[in-house]
Amino acid sequence: MIANVLGIVAEYNPFHNGHAYQLRQAKQQTHADVTVVAMSGNWVQRGEPALLDKWQRTKLALSGGADLVVELPFQFAVQPAHLFAQGAVQLLSELGCTSLAFGAEHPDLDFDTLVANQPTNASSHFKRFDETYPTLFNDYLQKQTGMDLRASNDILGFSYVAANHQLAHPMKMLPIQRRGSSHQDTQVGTKATVASGAAIRNAVQEGNWAAVDQLVPKDTATALREDQRTTWADYWPYLRFQLLSTAIDNLHEIYQMSEGIEYRLKQAALTSVSFDDFLRSAKTKRFTYARLQRLCVYVLLQIDQVELPTSLRYARVLGFNRRGQEHLNQVKKATELPLIARVTDDWINGPYRLDYQAGLMRQMLSGADQDRLQHPVIV
């Protein structure tokens, strides 16, 4: 019986040397029997299309050391950190994980104390409109604890720990020192072997393959050269059409649309010739770029206020090796959560509709089927 199960939440956009290091460290420290990865599908948490699709990234995750890869449902994948973490932690728990490893800029932070001091309701502190919500949230926690929670992966780690506290049987949490440049750095050092996903994606867009080759495993470098890649620039004409053709009253009903931002988005779409221009025009002090991009995903897919359920309803299996399959067979006997290997029309027209819709948008651009004809990747 497999009892020591390591869980990891990932986007692998793309799978790089830092991810490979994290996997090795987590396995060594936990002595795990099997490693389960909950991975975002075709859209990621900061509101961007994944550079490679979920099937390409599943292959790379399995070749990089994962045993079982499941899809983090769209309803959680494209969300602020606390909702993203809530879905991912719940999914890994249902899949029998006993520990959860995550990268952090400051792994020695007392995450439990931070969670214990988080605000329990919307105080007047969060009614200010001159700063983003994440900044206000960090300021509040810093006043309460003296600890700074400003770094991107620390924030996600805090969210994982907070979500883990809500479980009936919490997992063991394992913060791992993040290597290389900051999560938001977009440039690559000349001798670097580890860099942020943003920096690697930037190098790919610039065709700087010498830099890419030193930052990612060989399989990833091959996939980035040979496989279909997608960015917001590919979706910009479709997004612009939605923004310009949709009435303001209907835009107001889009999920997470608030504070009259729909007027600003519509005006920015009218005057901008590219997605980057559009983002710069739409940016305000109150809205982060990630929040704006997530809004753009909801507009593109026409997701309204009532369409994103808060409970986990299924686990879509994307791929596994022999050990992962053995664990999957064990999980089937222990969980009531439906495990989907193939999606049928009943799923597409029911609980899986949003994931199918998100994949279909990518399929329109790439021509590569994302759901109906796909089987799990088996290594």
Q: What is the mean pLDDT of residues 208-233?
A: 96
Other C-beta atoms closer than 10 Å to the C-beta of 225 total 12
Look at strands 339-340 and 315-320 and give their pairing.
parallel
Between the alpha carbon of residue 259 and those of residues 76, 265, 280, 312, the distances in Å are: 23, 12, 18, 29
CA atoms of 122 and 143, how far apart (whole Å): 16
The separation between the first and the last C-alpha atoms of the chain, rounded to the nearest angstrom, is 21
User: What pLDDT, on a 0 to 100 scale, did the predictor assign at position 190?
Assistant: 64
Tokens of 184: 């938001």
User: What pLDDT, on a 0 to 100 scale, did the predictor assign at position 149?
Assistant: 86
Selection from 73, 69, 95 nearest residue 84 by Cα: 73
Q: 164-215, pLDDT tens digit by residue?
A: 999 999 999 999 999 865 555 566 666 789 999 999 999 999 999 999 999 9
CA 366-370-376 angle, 5° bins: 135
What one-letter code names the amino acid at 57?
Answer: R
63 vs 141, residue with greater confidence = 63
pLDDT more than 90, % of the chain = 82
Q: 301-310, pLDDT tens digit by residue?
A: 999 987 777 8
**How many H-runs (helices) and E-runs (strands) does the chain carry?**
18, 8
Residues 251, 255, 261, 264: is their CA dihedral positive or negative? negative
CA atoms of 349 and 275, how far apart (whole Å): 31
Q: 9-68, pLDDT tens digit by residue?
A: 999 999 999 999 999 999 999 999 999 999 999 999 999 999 999 999 999 999 999 999
The topology under which CATH files domain 5-109+149-229+312-378 is Rossmann fold (3.40.50)
Q: Is the pLDDT of residue 128 over 80?
A: no
Across the chain, mean pLDDT equals: 92
Q: Is the pLDDT of residue 123 over 70?
A: no
User: Where exactly are the structural domains of the chain?
Assistant: 5-109+149-229+312-378, 232-300
Which ranges of the chain would DSSP assign to H, the alpha helix? 17-30, 54-63, 74-77, 81-94, 111-116, 133-145, 152-165, 197-206, 209-215, 218-226, 232-245, 248-251, 261-271, 275-282, 289-300, 322-332, 345-348, 353-366
Taking a C-beta distance cutoff of 8 angstroms, is the pair 183, 151 a contact? yes
pLDDT more than 70, % of the chain = 94
Q: Is the pLDDT of residue 122 over 70?
A: no
142 vs 126, residue with greater confidence = 142
Q: How confident is the model at residue 85 (pLDDT cuts 50, 70, 90)?
A: very high
129 vs 54, residue with greater confidence = 54
Please tell me the pTM assigned to this model.
Answer: 0.93
Query: Would you give the distance in Å from CA 156 to the centre of its chain?
Result: 10
